[in-house]
Structure 1
Amino acid sequence: MTPKRCTRRAAASLAVLAGVVVLGGCGIRTTQVPVDAGPAPSRVPCEVSGESITPQAQQQGIQVRVYLVCASQLESVDRTAQVTEKKAVDSRVQIAQALLDELEKEPSSPEHEAGFATYVRGPLALTGAREGDPAGTLRLSRQPEDLPMPALAQIVCTFAESRAAATGGSVLLGGPGEYAPRAYQCSAGIKERPDEAVPTLSALPSSPAAR
């Protein structure tokens, strides 16, 4: 085979097989060229598109932010909680219960399509601090430690970024029993890994609830 024919054959092979050089007729070994296309795009956007709050709902409630689980992490979504603005200002328990009710709801269609889910299962109720509890304590109808870790993480992070949080941003949660409440914290780590134990402060605030 002449050098001219060899060159034409190599050019034809390059045109047919992109990224692969085949020059078998000229005695050159086949070589595959790797292509770095970067990471595969995520199919879970974790972002609700469009406006899903009706004007009527806006008039009847207040704007709140709750944490749901998406792509194995905690991500926030905006909701309208059915509680009046006045009650939300006057009562920490009222706004905390409204937030808890929102967490118990199944995600809306836009939220579900974006990949959101909730691990908080009801019915769950809240009461205020008992005698001897630190000020700002919230008591759940179930022991917090008995909840699934992602559910507890959702509750703590939702409360921590609302008026339901105690002084300093921690969330003082207790259960229906005689166990003392714990001061839970919403850390960056728990938002990334909500299936792990929610961090707590080693010491509780010393000021008792007002009577």
Structure 2
Amino acid sequence: MRAVRERRGLVALVGVAVVAAVASGCGIRTTSVPVDAGAAPSRLPCSVSGGGSASRAQQRPAPVRVYLVCASGMQAVERTVPETGDKNPQDSRLAVARALLNQLVAEPSAAEREAGFTTSVQGPLTVSAGRGGDPKGAMRLSRQPEDLPAAALSQIVCTYAENGATADGGTVLLGGPGPYPVRRYACTEQLRERPDSAAPTRSAS
């Protein structure tokens, strides 16, 4: 009986050695440290052929670029909005900001959905001109920007920055209905890659 047990023990040791050799031959190295390989590659095309959804208004359409979420990032899609007839630059800028926000709240077109695009901006949500004491070019949303989902705020910031809807120099001046000062938001490459991260801000002054 002792000889049988010894043979069984020898067989078990041989089996362990074989498994270790196979793992070594495959280049597998065990580790107790979790490895972050980044986001899994997406099979979504994140690209729309031709233009996206267009406004049905009768005015002459103006091309714009609206940021939508696709996979784990954000990309701009081509849209059209009614061309504003306002001659006052401030009124024209507000009209553009409202049209862009409406585009973000609207459901993506069938072609955009098929390409994997979604929007995190949900209504009801409106935008109005800044109040007295706000810097020039500031806009105020009907909700505090920091209360919006991070991806929704990222879409608004990058869409406004892309189309020069508020402020200038690629930054956006946004506030909410509360008695808080507006903040200056920047659409960075990091924000476009990870819209769920917090939008970078700094004082508007």
Specify if TM > 0.5: yes
Deviation at 1:113, TM superposition (A): 0.3
C-alpha distance 148-49 of structure 1, shift in aligned 2 (>3 A): same
Give the secondary structure class of the aligned counterpart of 2:174. strand
2:50 & 2:177 partners in 1: Cα distance?
40
| CA offsets 1:96-138 (integer angstroms, 9 cap, x no match) | 0000000001110000000000000011111111111111110
Q: 1:40-119 counterparts in 2 under 5 A?
A: 42-51=42-51, 60-81=60-81, 83-87=82-86, 90=89, 91-119=92-120
Letter in 2 for 1:116: F
Q: 1:119-158 counterparts in 2 under 5 A?
A: 119-158=120-159
Alpha carbons 2:140, 2:174 under 8 Å: kept: yes
**C-alpha RMSD over aligned residues:** 2.7
Alpha carbons 1:73, 1:194 under 8 Å: kept: yes
C-alpha distance 69-133 of structure 1, shift in aligned 2 (>3 A): same
State the partner residue of 1:176. 177
1:152 & 1:76 partners in 2: Cα distance?
15
Give the secondary structure class of the aligned counterpart of 1:76. strand
Q: State TM-score, norm by structure 1.
A: 0.71
Deviation at 1:163, TM superposition (A): 2.6
Quick check: which has more Rg, 1 or 2?
Answer: 1
1:62 & 1:145 partners in 2: Cα distance?
30
Deviation at 1:167, TM superposition (A): 2.5
Deviation at 1:51, TM superposition (A): 4.7
Percent of aligned positions that are identical? 55
State the partner residue of 2:11. none
Letter in 1 for 2:111: P
Note the residue ranges of structure 2 that are not aligned, 5 or more in a row: 1-24, 27-39
2:195 & 2:186 partners in 1: Cα distance?
12
2:85 & 2:124 partners in 1: Cα distance?
25
Alpha carbons 1:88, 1:94 under 8 Å: kept: no
| CA offsets 1:138-160 (integer angstroms, 9 cap, x no match) | 00001100000000000000000
Deviation at 1:72, TM superposition (A): 1.1
1:88 & 1:69 partners in 2: Cα distance?
33
Q: State TM-score, norm by structure 2.
A: 0.73
Alpha carbons 1:174, 1:180 under 8 Å: kept: yes
Note the residue ranges of structure 1 that are not aligned, 5 or more in a row: 1-32, 35-39, 206-211
